[in-house]
Amino acid sequence: MKVIKKKNASFGKKLACKGSGFGEGMGGCGALLQVVPADISNNLSTGGDAHWFWCPLCGAKTFVSYNTFK
Ligand SMILES: [Zn+2]
């Protein structure tokens, strides 16, 4: 059985894999991903303000804005 839609399916955001990570040398695969806050990594603990997610398909890193889920 496959869940087509569940009640909180709108949670998160559909974001495209753009592979815009610095120095990654990857253009991303263009996949449309359902990204939830838990998927977002950041470097706040080291004084940075970057937020990004890793594409599960191609492994590229795509940066997102801080307020993506606000
Ligand atoms: Zn990708």
Q: What is the pLDDT of residue 25?
A: 57
Alpha-carbon gap, residue 49 to 44, rounded angstroms: 5
Distance 53 CA to ligand 1 centre (A): 10
Domain positions in the chain are 13-64
Ligand 1 centre from 60 Cα, in Å? 5
Interval 10-50: pLDDT, tens: 578 999 999 876 555 568 899 999 999 889 999 999 999 88
Amino acid at 42: N
pTM for this model (two decimals)? 0.73
Q: How far is CA 62 from CA 3, 5, 11, 22, 33, in A?
A: 27, 26, 19, 9, 11
- Reported as a single tens digit per residue, the pLDDT across 46-65 is 999 889 999 999 888 899 98
